[in-house]
Chain A
């Protein structure tokens, strides 16, 4: 991390309170991710500045905040999806189970096999429902038809989709409704039995009933997986998450650039009922953003 003072002085907003200290106060289970002073750049543009937090095992952690506050950028850093964006660069350290995620010998492919991702817009492949779910296991080298059948059924059951599609596994994944397609994408993600599931606004394109189904599903998946979810919906964060991180935008008046940063990170109930930071309070009570 370079020049942290520079950021603090160049923005007009009050200096963010020490997040590291805050994290220490949170009783911790097993940390899955340790994020230490991470800044993320797209070429010369600084998208996220100085984020530090820990994500804990078998918990749902929600990232909330207004657009441009860097929630998704940080989420995508967890499985190195930002590698796919030309010019993207991560500074600082992200440890995954104690291993530096951006270490020299770390393969992004190996990382993504353990850390899956569900996207904002359902993106089933133009293949059959079966082949969509079997895609990940096949990538991992599973060729045995019987085993694949078993994995497909288990994953679709896990995503609460089995009963709706069991008689049409050969149909196109694109024939499903939005909510079903998103559950198919979740089934596809859990078919490779990942350690962590990252969800980038998984319900933002869905109606309330489909959203409810996805949220129920997340609560069930929590026992087996660690989940990090980005959401614009604060009710959703309070409904499903154990911890919440609030991100906000810092505007640099000199260069007119906007940089996201972590403002507050705490247990969800605490963050919503008794936030420490005024910006968090303004946001969660609806007076801002």
Chain B
């Protein structure tokens, strides 16, 4: 074309120099960080699968817990699986609704009131309380009066989950654009209705993810259960009374045994726990996908 003839040359390449160097440094730093993060994660997964996979089987997941010195293949971790599922479920039922309601109060109703500020502050403080202290707390106010039970363990786990659920739900509710609230108010909706039909559905995917992280964290807790459920070797189906056991407690107890069979069962229990957390994550993804049909 004729117009191309008289054009001065333009150089559109990335200029050499400090900016290019900065770009390279930043890229390298990011790759390095990623590798640093992924190595321990991969190593943990590899070790647990390598040492625990051989133990896994239907009978391992359902049988009673054998004597510590019995070899791998006899008995299993049935009581720990059922205990973890029951106690975590009970704790979730207690902590998640309460936490979400608390976050709704903080974000939608409380505003800058002293009560709201106090609750927000206490939730932050509670996040920092060591889990073993939660166990001791429940031990002193519940176990001393009513004895060991799965319920007591659930109380302790719920205390751990509550601040996490409040804070994560609060953040998600903050992300809901005010224009949606205004749109609803402009149609004559009451505050409760705006919250229930517009704000909560919009924030739900994030709330579910946050709650799930709290559940997964609680399911892996050992310390709060030490003083609240003890350990047992046969299934205690009644979560409301009598000592119970859980996967983390079982891992802790087996890991300190000198017997190879008990240690192998501990690895198997660890793999089971990871698998449960993994299944929970996938289930939550499916559930939230159903709720977010309209979010894009």
List chain A positions with a Cβ less than 8 A from chain B.
79, 81, 84, 86, 109-110, 112-113, 116-117, 119, 121, 123-128, 131, 135-136, 139-140, 172-175, 185, 188-189, 192
Contact = CB atoms under 8 A, between A and B. Distances in A.
Given A139-B188, A192-B188, A125 B183 contact: yes
Interface of B: 111-112, 177, 179-190, 193, 197-198, 201-202, 292-296
Contacts of B201: 126-127
A172 B293 contact: yes
Contact of B182 (A109, A123, A135, A189): A123
Given A123-B177, A172-B293, A172-B296, A135 B185 contact: no
A143 to B, nearest CB: 14
A246 B202 CA distance: 38
26 contacts: A81-B185, A81-B186, A84-B181, A84-B185, A109-B188, A109-B190, A112-B186, A117-B182, A123-B183, A124-B183, A126-B180, A126-B201, A126-B202, A126-B294, A127-B201, A135-B184, A135-B187, A139-B187, A139-B189, A140-B188, A172-B295, A172-B296, A174-B294, A188-B183, A188-B187, A189-B186
Contacts of A112: 185-188
B187 A189 contact: yes
Given A121-B179, A172-B293, A113 B188 contact: yes
A92 B184 CA distance: 27
Nearest to A120: B179
B80 to A, nearest CB: 41
Contacts of A139: 184, 187-189, 193
Contacts of A123: 177, 179-180, 182-183
Nearest to B179: A123
A233 to B, nearest CB: 21
Nearest to A118: B186
A125 B185 contact: no
A192 B201 CA distance: 22
Given A113-B188, A116-B186, 7 more contacts: A86-B112, A110-B188, A121-B179, A124-B183, A125-B183, A128-B294, A174-B295
Nearest to A173: B294
Contacts of B184: 125, 135, 139
Contacts of B296: 172, 174-175
Contacts of B202: 125-126
A123 B182 CA distance: 9
Nearest to A128: B294
Contacts of A117: 182, 186
B294 A119 contact: no
A132 to B, nearest CB: 9
B109 to A, nearest CB: 13
A172 B177 CA distance: 17
A136 B187 contact: yes
A192 B190 CA distance: 15
Given A121-B179, A127-B201, A175-B296, A79 B193 contact: no
